[in-house]
Amino acid sequence: MITKVLKIDINSLQLARNIILSGGAVAIPTETVYGLGANAYDTGAVENIFAIKGRPNDNPLIVHVHRGFDISELVTDIPDYAVKLADAYLPGPLTMVYRSKGTVSPAVSCGLSTVAIRIPSHEGVQKFLKYVNLPIAAPSANISKHVSPTSAGHVYADLNGKIELILDGGVSAGGIESTVLDCTGPEPVILRTGLITREMIKKVAGACGVYEYKDGETARSPGLKYKHYSPDCRTKLFKYEEISDAMEYFTQRMRNGVKAVILCDDHVAKMVGVNYVLNLGKTPEDMAANLYARLREGEKIAQEIIAIEPKNKSGVMAGVLNRLKKACAEVK
Ligand code: TXA
Ligand code: MG
């Protein structure tokens, strides 16, 4: 199959709609990462997404809708705090999990009684969602467990030959996946950290829990139990306090003929002062925006990525650190 990469205009939107209506999948830009979208009402189309990505069939998908879509067609029991949060932060990088009405295909939620809904703010994807006027189930558009894509080029690298169309909406400005928030209980609970932080949610909803998955238990968000975002090379992660250990390890690796590269923020980059650095940038927002592109660069140029955690760990950085830890965990 030839994979077309097209800017978003009336012609590419028409092609995208035809593909979606015939049960196919289209890669779409969002403000977080690129997604691989299919008609959420069509079980065959949704199952096809799992097959293309090689995604485990117990990891549910997020349903994307345009800003005018009436989500009461898809979900029920929307609590007051969710209405307030939606007013404050949507469209934007916040996915909200509600009780499902059972109108989308059961394949979307892998048998759960809930469904995750997201209204992305990226103008290009809003045009697409409006044009198809269907709920679109879309995981990130990478091969399962690989680094998420933040450009059409990243999607092409993973899915060339496997899908017909990539809608090119430029580089994703946010860079890490949306915050996933469970809105089925008396107060919201973060299932996956992201650019909409706990502090931001607390401010509007009054309270906000954070779910922490422990190995072995049934995950409230099945994606939590999988290794994710991993580059195709060895990785090792050091804490901020272990910079000197990291540098010693780096020197050893290079001496043993292993091409290694350091992945760190601008502050640490200045401290270590070596040539082989992938610099994530200065602010937490920069680091979120750059993380996946740097990991994809790293896997191309090095045999091993040695990552050093940043000093600050709160706010947006909590999301960045969560992805960095998952990407650079040593177990393969
Ligand atoms: O920013 C994003 O969220 C991107 C873009 C494309 O929208 N999408 C994304 O999808 O990251 P994916 O499939 O890579 O991650 C979806 C996450 C998984 O961790 C999954 O377990 C969780 O959302 N999830 C989906 N439906 C759920 C549900 N009903 N209950 C709990 N967690 C759910
Ligand atoms: Mg993903």
Per-residue model confidence (pLDDT) at position 94: 98
How many angstroms separate the alpha carbon of residue 253 from the centre of ligand 1? Answer: 36
Q: Is the pLDDT of residue 226 over 70?
A: no
SS (H, E, C) the chain: CCCEEEECCHHHHHHHHHHHHCCCCEEECCCCCCEEEEECCCHHHHHHHHHHHCCCCCCCCEEECCCCCCHHHCEECCCHHHHHHHHHHCCCCEEEEEEECCCCCHHHHCCCCEEEEECCCCHHHHHHHHHHCCCEECCECCCCCECCCCCHHHHHHHHCCCCCEEEECCCCCCCCCCEEEECCCCCCEEEECCCCCHHHHHHHHCCCEECCCCCCCCCCCHHHHCCCCECCCEEEEECHHHHHHHHHHHHHHHHCCCCEEEEECHHHHHHHCCCCEEECCCCHHHHHHHHHHHHHHHHHHCCEEEEECCCCCCCHHHHHHHHHHHHHCCCC
Per-residue model confidence (pLDDT) at position 273: 83
Measured from the CB, is residue 279 less than 6 Å from ligand 1? no
pLDDT band at 330 (very low <50, low <70, confident <90, very high): low
pLDDT band at 227 (very low <50, low <70, confident <90, very high): low
pLDDT digits (tens, 9 = 90+) for 239-264: 999 999 999 999 999 999 999 999 99
Residue nearest to atom 13 of ligand 1 (CA): 139
pLDDT band at 219 (very low <50, low <70, confident <90, very high): confident
Considering every ligand atom shown, identify the ligand nearest to the alpha carbon of residue 100 and give its number: 1
Q: Is the pLDDT of residue 155 over 70?
A: yes
Residue nearest to atom 33 of ligand 1 (CA): 221
How many angstroms separate the alpha carbon of residue 295 from the centre of ligand 2? Answer: 15
Residue nearest to atom 19 of ligand 1 (CA): 223
Mean local confidence (pLDDT), 266-280: 92
Q: What is the value of pTM for the model shown?
A: 0.96
Measured from the CB, is residue 109 less than 6 Å from ligand 1? yes
Q: Is the pLDDT of residue 25 over 80?
A: yes
pLDDT band at 332 (very low <50, low <70, confident <90, very high): very low
Mutational pocket test of ligand 1: of 95, 145, 176, the residue with most ligand atoms within 8 Å of the beta carbon: 95
Q: Is the pLDDT of residue 171 over 50?
A: yes
26-35, 173-182, 206-215 — which is least confidently predicted?
A: 206-215
Q: Percent of the chain, pLDDT > 70?
A: 98
Per-residue model confidence (pLDDT) at position 85: 98
Measured from the CB, is residue 95 less than 6 Å from ligand 1? yes
Q: Percent of the chain, pLDDT > 90?
A: 91
pLDDT digits (tens, 9 = 90+) for 114-134: 999 999 999 999 999 999 999
Note residues around ion ligand 2 (Cβ under 5 angstroms). Answer: 140
How many angstroms separate the alpha carbon of residue 267 from the centre of ligand 2? Answer: 29
Q: Is the pLDDT of residue 10 over 90?
A: yes
